[in-house]
């Protein structure tokens, strides 16, 4: 019986000649739909021909010798499998070509620009500035013009190694994570096929950052801190900023960027707009009696200005800097602590009191819920947070009165 497949061999394909008269197309069948087509100009093409669905159609596999006979047979087998599954090889081939063109035209920089555009709408200005600056300075110079699909772990590693070489290990971790977000974004939009290259670089590839984390105060250390705050030599606006930071449980940036127009003293609440919040959602803060007292004193100093804590005349920034606030807090504490750590003190003390539901505490901290639960639960628990914030302010007052009993632990050397 004659062979139905693999009728050709490499010698026959290599020596195949066009029509001597230069008119007809020479067709050499290999079997099962695969054939070699020799055009009058001498060009040779592999084709797969099928009658799936009752309609004959032809799929171009590629030119010879770019596509060898073995590769052509593998491609033909793949197309026969598609026919068995009821799929069209013609349609699948068109989809593959479109994807290949898209992958070639889509650069790493274009994907990062799309990701950053979304970040700008959904994260705080400070975080957007951090992530966009990190990507533009560390990834785009090397990876920006490359087709995103062409970037594998080896190429990404070389880009990140430049950060490691200059010793910026904390930045290295951040940039590697942001690169992972870019590739995840590309995968979600069909611009990248395969595993995320950043995932292969998470362990045992780069030197680990051994950063020193500044601690938060323990509740037992708060009395001494509050006592030190009373005698701290600092601008009254700085002292007021620290007190509002404590009483509101807000982030330092939210406090330092506060505007007088955000405060509704009749409703006894502080409305922080979405663009100033980390989660890009508006946040209302109930004002305790102690917070109102701080604001009343501060209003005498800066009530005629836009910001509660304006910078000095001639400064390049509009408000008191986070560094100035941190330095004042460190002097009062007598050790390295972070301004953000007061939120940890609030969270821990409220949780340990067992007086308040966790959802109310989390709402006070403006911690958004993730996933499906976060999409449907939009409760702000504002009315429940009114007594919570007054309780917290009263607890701080009580701690201040006991300051002479509980002393701060001595700061560790070095």
Q: What structural domains and CATH numbers belong to the chain?
A: 10-104 (3.30.160.390), 108-201 (1.10.150.130), 219-371+378-401 (1.10.443.10)
Which of the four pLDDT bands, split at 50, 70 and 90, describes residue 103?
low
Q: Are 225 and 408 in contact (CB under 8 A)?
A: yes
As a whole number, mean pLDDT of residues 97-123 equals: 79
The tokens describing 143, both together, are: 């990876």
What single string gives the DSSP state of each residue in 96-150?
HHHHHHHHHH-BHHHHHHHHHHHHHHHS-HHHHHHHHHHHHHHTHHHHTTSBGGG
Encode pLDDT of 299-324 as tens digits. 999 999 999 999 988 787 889 988 88
The answer to whether the peptide bond before residue 62 is cis (omega within 30 degrees of 0) is no
Least confident of 198-212, 306-320, 350-364, 398-412: 398-412
* CB-based contacts of 329, cutoff 8 Å, min separation 6: 242, 337, 339
**Residues linked to residue 5 through DSSP beta bridges, in sequence order:** 31
pTM of the model: 0.53
pLDDT band for position 408 (50/70/90)? Answer: very low
Which band of pLDDT confidence, cut at 50, 70 and 90, is reported for residue 369?
low
Distance CA 258, CA 237 (A): 13
pLDDT grade, residue 413 (50/70/90)?
very low
Average pLDDT, the chain: 85
Distance between CA 68 and CA 52 in Å, rounded?
Answer: 25
Distance CA 177, CA 198 (A): 7
Higher-pLDDT residue of 51 and 354 is 354
- φ, ψ (nearest 5 deg) of residue 138: -110, -20
330 pLDDT higher than 70: yes
H or E segment and range at residue 35: strand 34-38
pLDDT band at 105 (very low <50, low <70, confident <90, very high): low
Distance CA 57, CA 89 (A): 9
* pLDDT attached to residue 284: 95
Q: State how far the Cα of 163 lies from the Cα of 175, in Å rounded to an integer.
A: 9
Query: Which pair of tokens denotes residue 21?
Result: 């008269």
pLDDT at residue number 373: 40
Give yes or no for a contact between 222 and 246, defined as CB atoms under 8 angstroms apart. Answer: no
Q: Tell me the per-residue pLDDT of 188-241, one tens digit each, with 9 for 90 and over.
A: 888 888 899 999 988 777 766 444 455 788 888 999 999 999 999 999 999 999
Q: Between the CA of residue 32 and those of 7, 16, 36, 79, 296, what are the distances in Å?
A: 10, 20, 12, 10, 88
Q: Which tens digits make up the pLDDT trace of 43-63?
A: 999 988 887 666 777 888 888
CA atoms within 13 A on the CB side of 210: 1
- What's the number of CA atoms in the CB half-sphere (13 Å) around residue 173? 9
CB atoms within 10 A of CB 229: 20
231, containing H or E segment: helix 222-231
pLDDT at 268: 96
Name the β-bridge partners of 60: 47
Q: pLDDT tens, 246-293? A: 999 999 999 999 999 999 999 999 999 988 888 788 999 999 999 999
CB atoms within 10 A of CB 348: 14
Which of 72-81, 107-116, 397-406 tops mean pLDDT?
107-116
């Amino acid at each position: 019986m004659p062979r139905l497949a693999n009728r050709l061999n490499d010698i026959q394909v290599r020596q195949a000649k066009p029509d001597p008269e230069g008119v007809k197309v020479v067709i050499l069948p290999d079997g099962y739909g695969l054939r070699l087509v020799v055009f009058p100009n001498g060009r040779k093409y592999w084709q797969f021909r099928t009658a799936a669905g009752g309609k004959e159609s032809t799929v171009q596999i590629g030119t010879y010798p770019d596509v060898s006979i073995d590769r052509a047979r593998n491609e033909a087998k793949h197309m026969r499998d598609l026919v068995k599954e009821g799929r069209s090889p013609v349609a699948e081939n068109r989809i593959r070509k479109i994807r290949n063109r898209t992958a070639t035209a889509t650069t790493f920089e274009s994907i990062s620009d799309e990701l950053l555009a979304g970040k700008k709408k959904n994260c705080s200005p400070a975080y957007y500035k951090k992530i966009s600056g990190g990507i533009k300075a560390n990834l785009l110079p090397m990876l920006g013009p490359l087709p995103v699909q062409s970037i594998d772990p080896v190429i990404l590693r070389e880009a990140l190694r430049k950060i490691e070489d200059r010793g910026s290990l904390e930045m290295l971790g951040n940039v590697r994570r942001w690169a992972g977000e870019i590739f995840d974004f590309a995968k979600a939009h069909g611009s990248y096929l395969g595993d995320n290259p950043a995932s292969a670089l998470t362990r045992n590839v780069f030197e680990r950052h051994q950063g020193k984390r500044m601690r938060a105060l323990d509740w037992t250390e708060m009395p001494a801190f509050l006592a030190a705050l009373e005698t701290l030599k600092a601008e009254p606006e700085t002292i007021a900023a620290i007190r509002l930071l404590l009483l509101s449980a807000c982030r330092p940036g939210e406090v330092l960027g506060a505007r007088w127009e955000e405060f509704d003293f009749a409703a006894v609440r502080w409305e922080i707009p979405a663009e100033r919040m980390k989660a890009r959602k508006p946040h209302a803060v109930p004002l305790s009696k102690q917070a109102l007292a701080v604001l009343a004193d501060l209003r005498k100093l800066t009530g005629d200005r836009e910001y509660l804590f304006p910078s000095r005349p001639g400064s390049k920034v509009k408000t008191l800097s986070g560094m100035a606030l941190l330095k004042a807090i460190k002097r009062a504490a007598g050790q390295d602590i972070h301004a953000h750590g007061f939120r940890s003190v609030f969270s821990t003390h409220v949780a340990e009191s067992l007086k308040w539901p966790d959802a109310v505490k989390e709402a006070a901290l403006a911690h958004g819920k993730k996933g499906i639960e976060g999409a449907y639960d939009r409760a702000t628990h504002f009315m429940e947070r009114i007594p919570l914030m007054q309780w917290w302010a009263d607890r701080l007052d009580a701690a201040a009165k006991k300051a002479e009993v509980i002393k701060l632990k001595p700061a560790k050397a070095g």
